[in-house]
Structure 1
């Protein structure tokens, strides 16, 4: 450990002899080093855009359009899904949620009607064939 004293106030620069407090302070600074002030607290803020939380149901709407397009509900749902995706790209999350909600409702109805139509297309021919036997 180096015990050299660094003098900050020399008698030549202050035009008066150093007193006891100044020498004591110089000795403490030399022994302890520079004053240890804790660094100011820093924080990192990560902004996650909420655009990923708005589903646009494009894939579901495309499936409804291709396979269960009863009463053109799948096509209309696809149109609303595309509008929702466009609103999301522009940054209008409220409009995107409104269009996505409409697309979801139309997709649900297209799915329900598609399932009912499929069941009817299976049951009716079976009933007709049994009636002729």
Structure 2
């Protein structure tokens, strides 16, 4: 007996198609929340009018921390504050220059 024939004889012939079981995995897409940390660092170094750049940098770091613990609402709130502070620091820094 050939090896394949022996294995078929022991295990039996392949059966017809049986019930197909499927599994569905829902993966939540990551919401991209910009934390504006590079912009805040730039403003801290070059346009730090009344420490607005530094405060914006602090809020950017808080936003990044909130993203790490999957708190999207908190991350968006801190990022929005950092963006407003960055805009104010940039405009006031350019006007001062």
Which band: TM-score by shorter chain?
Answer: 0.7 to 0.9
- Quote how far apart the aligned CAs of 1:48 are: 4.7
1:96-123 residue CA offsets vs partner (Å, 9 max, x unmatched): 11000000111111111122222xxxxx
Query: Does residue 55 of structure 1 match 2:34?
Result: yes
SS at match of 1:63: helix
Distance 1:71 1:41 in 2: 63
Equivalent of 1:100, from 63, 79, 90? 79
Q: Which residue of 1 aligns with 2:50?
A: 71
Structure 2 gap ranges (5+): 1-12
**Offset from partner CA, 1:30-85 (integer Å, 9 cap, x none):** xxx9774465263553625425x011111110110000011211011011111111
Tell me the TM-score normalised to structure 1 length: 0.54
> Larger radius of gyration, structure 1 or 2?
1
Residue 87 (1) aligns with residue 80 (2) = no
1:112 aligns with 2:78: no
Measured on the aligned residues, the alpha-carbon RMSD in Å equals 2.4
Structure 2 Cα separation of the partners of residues 45 and 91 of structure 1: 19
TM-score (ref. length: structure 2):
0.73
Q: Could you say what secondary structure the match of 2:44 adopts?
A: helix
Q: Which has the higher contact order (CA 8 A, sep 6+)?
A: 2
Residue among 8, 14, 20 paired with 1:40:
20
